[in-house]
Structure 1
Amino acid sequence: MAHKRIFDFNRELSEVQSDISRVSNDLDTVHKESEQNKNNLNQLENELMGLGLEFKIDSTKLINREINIYSEEYLNRLSKEIENELLKEINSNFLIPSAAKRDYTMAIIIGFVGALVDMLIVKVPADINYLGQFTQKGSEFTGWLKTLGIDENGNLSGLFNKLEQVCKVSYDASTTNGLGEYGEEVSGFYPKTHRLMSLGHDPFFGLIFGLIDLFNGSITLIDSKGVIHSIALEKFQETPMQDKIFAPLLWLGHLVSDLCTKMGLPIPGWGFTQLLQFGSFGENERTIADLTRWMYIEGYDLRHFLTIGTVPGIIELLTRIYFKCTLKKDELASPMYAKNLKELQENIRLQRLLFCAHSVAASGNIIKTILHQGNPLAFNTAELLGFIKQSIRIGQVNRRDKTGEKVIRNRDRINKEWNDNKL
């Protein structure tokens, strides 16, 4: 598809081209006559030499250069080159000024602070002798969270104990014995793993699977072999109607009661990792499913997820504080389109700051995992999600429709050039 011309040189310069073409034809005639004279001189020189006369005419002194002819073809080529340069400038993608060095410096510092929090505060869920030879200290913050809601004997206290007694649900079976005859077909299901495998205990997706199980008197789970089971439990087939009516409250109440137990609740979506029956990691050649199940058993639960969430939380907080403190004030007389463009530019600046900071923090988490001898418990899932989220936003920024920005940018440049020329 041909580009629409910005300036039609064929129309604007038609008269000039006609004059130059006429002059060019005259010069062409002169050039031909000069060539003929040059040939005549060469012929005369040869005749004189044939008569034995040592006489040579230096024709280069008479005609020592070619005559440039500015034809119509030349002007058309020149007009196309100028038009291409104009199109290149108009369609330039450098619409937003590059981030200042101060912005990059602050983003790196904030990311470094997040990495330090990850190493010094988040650590791993609890003290562990990893691989039987590496003693690694657990997070004190996670340890404090695990003291909430229980008494000195480790039993649920107060509201949590009452919710445990009241909010009975069908999907809370903790051993294969509670699954009836079907229990023999379920692998790896026991008290320490039942909340991970039972999808009704998921803090996010559990609202869907938990309600289905409550209405059907069943349990939906994914066992250690990655097999999905939906088992109807005879004990819950005669569920009272009031329990079904208040099913969302039962689900929420049971979720809260399990929050402060020893094993706690899994991270949202963590139960679906049992479907990932591939990979070979570590000395025991664990699959991803085996690895994530081991992490949950070792304390990588919702409470530790709150701890690791402090890293992306601090990054978001510090970055936005810096961004707010460095915002330029709007000019009262600025037109609306200029204010909208400024708002867009500032938002892109914020996304760049966050992406840079999250990149540094995510890199710091990789270093932390290496320093912990590759212990997967040192992996910061929350920061990884923050980095992925910011990467997606940066991709959206780069793929945005830039038409409006180009129009405003080109308009402002034309106005500036016009005012400069008037001065």
Structure 2
Amino acid sequence: MKKKRIVDLEDELTNVQKRIFDTSKELKSVYDISQENKNEIRTLEDELEKLGVPIERNYFSTKNQLQGIQVYSEKYFQRFSIEKEVLKEIANNSNLLPNLTKLDYSIAVLIGFTGFLIDLLLVKIPKDTTYLNKYTQDGSELTKWLRSLGINEEGKLNKFLSNLEENTKVSYDASTSRAFESYDGDVSGFYPKTHRLMSLGHDPFFGLIFSLIDICNGSISLIDAKGQIHYIALENFQSTPFYDKAMAPLIWFGHLLSDVCTKMGIPIPGWGFTQLLQFGSFGEKDRTVADLTRWMYLNGYDLRHFTTMGTVPGVIELFTRIYFKYSLPKEELVSPAYAKNLKEIHDHVRLQKLLFVAHSVATSGNVLKIMLHQGNPLAFNTAELIGFINQSAKMKKIYTREKTGEKVIKVRKTINNKWDNM
């Protein structure tokens, strides 16, 4: 069934074509008749002259006017159809997704490869380790330097952080199950080295929400090693002053800041929720995903190393945007507003494509890095993976975006060009 349209270009143009065809055909007939009449008049004039009748020949030149008459056949209109061209342009999305040049691809791949080298030579793994008791692997010097901040030569917090820790006591900082002995549930794997990973108030991103709940209610919200979620009220914090409740966001931030420079540090944003992933079987000990991520945290995979890992997506974003900025073609001095808008959209698409290629190369390089580290999960670059996932989501959004406005502009250009060439 033919789809109804508000303005049926096909029917309108067909009618116009038919009228042009009929009119041109009639003009040709008139032209032929006038030629016959003209010939007959000349024959009569010739005969009159033979009889001695004086004749004054005075013709208007119609040669140039009549020679321009042309009959447009139906085949002519089949050879060219504006609507077909317009519909073809509307259906063609390739023009709305500008292609990268060979230079663009080369630069994007080079930037992604640079990210891989930074990941391999600078990021490395959190600290020196002997993986599987036989592979000696060097840790990151940058992470090592970050671990030296905020502590003195004896490894203790400096005075400022020590005072901050003392003045921002919170209920969710309980480090052993002794703090809630009256609790009926079994909290598995909860001890000083893991309490910040399991206590959701210590999360650098989601922690604000859980810390507000825990500070106001004198409780601790946590996910244990078996993936069980616990909400435990602590007797010692049931009489929390109203002032502490009102200042809960600042207390959370201060406590978080004091924990960053401790030996175990604080987890990567959202890392505590990995304890819910009670599936999989990895390595010689058949660890689940939750066991693996907990082991990674215990071996230095904290917020400080996450900062180190962030240098890879950071370099990719910086270098790609610099190249993009200096490779933009100069804008035309006189250009319609709609053309400028279309150019801005296509420039944005080009930038996102460049970033996607660079992140794809760097992420692939991280897989190679893990292989070079004998499968050590500590070589996994979470920050770059987040960058790649984010860029993939942007690319999907670009391919599925509403293109009506862009198509209207492209169609307008096509119509103008076709009419100009007629």
TM over 0.5: yes
What is the rounded CA distance, in whole Å, between the counterparts of 1:336 and 1:99 in structure 2? 24
Q: Residue type matched to 1:197 in 2?
A: M
* 1:164 shift after superposition: 1.0
C-alpha change, 1:15 and 1:146, in structure 2 (3 Å) is closer
What is the rounded CA distance, in whole Å, between the counterparts of 1:365 and 1:195 in structure 2? 28
For 1:92, the equivalent position in structure 2 comes to 92
* 1:133 shift after superposition: 1.1
* 1:353 shift after superposition: 0.5
Q: Please list the CA deviations of residues 343-376 of structure 1 after superposition, one character each: whole Å capped at 9, or x if unmatched.
A: 1111111000000000000000010011111111
Query: What TM-score does the superposition give when structure 1 sets the normalisation length?
Result: 0.82
Q: Residue type matched to 2:212 in 1?
A: L
For 1:143, the equivalent position in structure 2 comes to 144
C-alpha change, 1:333 and 1:84, in structure 2 (3 Å) is closer
Correspondences of 1:335-354 after superposition (within 5 Å):
335-354=336-355
What is the rounded CA distance, in whole Å, between the counterparts of 1:102 and 1:216 in structure 2? 59
Correspondences of 1:204-353 after superposition (within 5 Å):
204-353=205-354
For 1:171, the equivalent position in structure 2 comes to 172
Task: Tell me if structure 2 keeps the 8 A contact 1:111–1:359.
Answer: yes
* 1:183 shift after superposition: 7.4
For 1:69, the equivalent position in structure 2 comes to none
Q: Please list the CA deviations of residues 383-404 of structure 1 after superposition, one character each: whole Å capped at 9, or x if unmatched.
A: 0010011011111111112222
* 1:418 shift after superposition: 4.4
Q: Please list the CA deviations of residues 312-371 of structure 1 after superposition, one character each: whole Å capped at 9, or x if unmatched.
A: 000000001111111222222111111111111111110000000000000000100111
Matched residue count: 369
* 1:227 shift after superposition: 0.5
What is the rounded CA distance, in whole Å, between the counterparts of 1:152 and 1:207 in structure 2? 32
C-alpha change, 1:183 and 1:373, in structure 2 (3 Å) is farther
For 1:60, the equivalent position in structure 2 comes to none
* 1:261 shift after superposition: 0.1
Q: Secondary structure at the match of 1:278?
A: coil
What is the rounded CA distance, in whole Å, between the counterparts of 2:226 and 2:86 in structure 1? 63
Q: Please list the CA deviations of residues 187-209 of structure 1 after superposition, one character each: whole Å capped at 9, or x if unmatched.
A: 00001100000001011111010
Q: Secondary structure at the match of 1:220?
A: strand
Query: What TM-score does the superposition give when structure 2 sets the normalisation length?
Result: 0.82
For 1:5, the equivalent position in structure 2 comes to 9
What is the rounded CA distance, in whole Å, between the counterparts of 1:410 and 1:247 in structure 2? 57
For 1:105, the equivalent position in structure 2 comes to 106
For 1:158, the equivalent position in structure 2 comes to 159
* 1:98 shift after superposition: 1.7
Higher alpha-carbon deviation: 3-12 or 209-218:
3-12
Share of identical aligned residues, percent? 61
For 1:23, the equivalent position in structure 2 comes to none
* 1:16 shift after superposition: 5.2
Task: Tell me if structure 2 keeps the 8 A contact 1:95–1:405.
Answer: no
Task: Tell me if structure 1 keeps the 8 A contact 2:86–2:414.
Answer: no
What is the rounded CA distance, in whole Å, between the counterparts of 2:282 and 2:216 in structure 1? 40
**Does residue 394 in structure 1 map to residue 399 in structure 2?**
no
Task: Tell me if structure 2 keeps the 8 A contact 1:264–1:303.
Answer: yes
Q: Please list the CA deviations of residues 205-264 of structure 1 after superposition, one character each: whole Å capped at 9, or x if unmatched.
A: 110101111111111100000011111111111112221121111111110000000000
Q: Residue type matched to 1:260 in 2?
A: C
* 1:88 shift after superposition: 2.1
For 2:199, the equivalent position in structure 1 comes to 198
Q: Residue type matched to 1:323 in 2?
A: F
* 1:122 shift after superposition: 0.2
Q: Secondary structure at the match of 1:95?
A: helix
Could you say what the CA RMSD is over the residues aligned between the two structures, in angstroms? 2.5
Q: Secondary structure at the match of 2:95?
A: coil
* 1:150 shift after superposition: 0.5
Q: Secondary structure at the match of 1:244?
A: helix
* 1:85 shift after superposition: 5.8
What is the rounded CA distance, in whole Å, between the counterparts of 2:293 and 2:80 in structure 1? 63
Taking CA–CA contacts closer than 8 Å with sequence separation of 6 or more, which of the two structures ends up with the larger relative contact order? 2
For 1:181, the equivalent position in structure 2 comes to 182
What is the rounded CA distance, in whole Å, between the counterparts of 1:171 and 1:373 in structure 2? 38
* 1:117 shift after superposition: 0.2
Structure 2: segments with no counterpart, 5+ residues: 26-72
Q: Secondary structure at the match of 2:183?
A: helix
What is the rounded CA distance, in whole Å, between the counterparts of 2:252 and 2:368 in structure 1? 40
Higher alpha-carbon deviation: 325-334 or 109-118:
325-334
What is the rounded CA distance, in whole Å, between the counterparts of 1:113 and 1:183 in structure 2? 53
C-alpha change, 1:411 and 1:80, in structure 2 (3 Å) is closer
Q: Secondary structure at the match of 1:219?
A: strand
Q: Please list the CA deviations of residues 92-122 of structure 1 after superposition, one character each: whole Å capped at 9, or x if unmatched.
A: 1122432111111110000000000000000
Task: Tell me if structure 2 keeps the 8 A contact 1:95–1:406.
Answer: no
What is the rounded CA distance, in whole Å, between the counterparts of 2:347 and 2:224 in structure 1? 48
